Structure formats: structure tokens, C-alpha cells
A = this chain, B = another copy of it.
């Protein structure tokens, strides 16, 4: 039984590759999808497709519509969503994606450093499981397939 996992959250570290490699090493029947990880391209995709925009707000609007379409399309294909919060950046789109996952009825695993427990307490209370590392999230995934 192949399952698809959407990996929401920060795109500045290598956590997606770490998770994919470990899942592959364990031969888990998992298929991973997620946002564009090339940050610059993600920010420029509106202009890349629609051409130059006259203000930075319009550039952002064009990019975010296309990135939102990608997220919606791939998240609907997913059986599970993992959202990772890092120490930096505002990451409001991560919170948005995590909340959308819950509302779409997709089980959510939240990964966050313990230091962020206070600002993420409401989201953590809504998530199915909250862990502190990619490794722990992997163990949860692995447990689903154990007998």
C-alpha cells in the first residue's frame, strides 16, 4: 500500500532529502511531494511565467498564486502531511499549509524544535502528533507499516 506524504515547511535546510533517504533505506512504501525547494525560483515563478510585474507586491501575488496551486494539487494527492518549522523566518505559509491539511482531513505530523513550543502551542494541539526531529517523524511513518 503506497502512501504519499506532502512535506510542508522551510526550504532552507536539507531536511526533505534526509527524510527521503532514510525512508528509502527502510524500504518504506512512501512517495514524497512538496513545494519548490529552490527559494529564488519559487519567489520568481510569477515573473518567469507571466513576465515582469510592475511592483514587488504584484510579483509576489503572481508567484504565490502559482505556488498555492502547486501546493493544493500535491497536497490533495497526499495521504499525510508533515510540516517542519525552523528557527528562522516567519513561516506563515507553513502554518497555513499545516492548518489546511487538518481541515482537508489529512493527518498531520508537526516537527518543531522544543524552543518553539509556546508560539506553536495551538497548532501542536491540532496536529495528530508533534515531534522534535525528522528522525522521530520517520519513526512514526515507519510504525504505520509495522505489524
Q: Which of A60, A104, A121, A147 has the most CB of B within 10 A?
A: A121
Q: Does the CB pair B93–A122 fall under 8 Å?
A: yes
**How many copies of this kind of chain does the complex include?**
8
Please, how many residues of chain A have a CB less than 8 angstroms from a CB on the other chain?
A: 75
Taking CB atoms, residues of chain B closer than 8 Å to A146 are 36, 41
Taking CB atoms, residues of chain B closer than 8 Å to A68 are 122, 125-126, 128
Chain B nearest CB from A97 CB (Å) reads: 8
Partner of A49, one of B64, B76, B95, B139: B139
Complex: how many Å from CA A3 to CA B68? 17
Complex: how many Å from CA A132 to CA B50? 8
Chain B nearest CB from A12 CB (Å) reads: 14
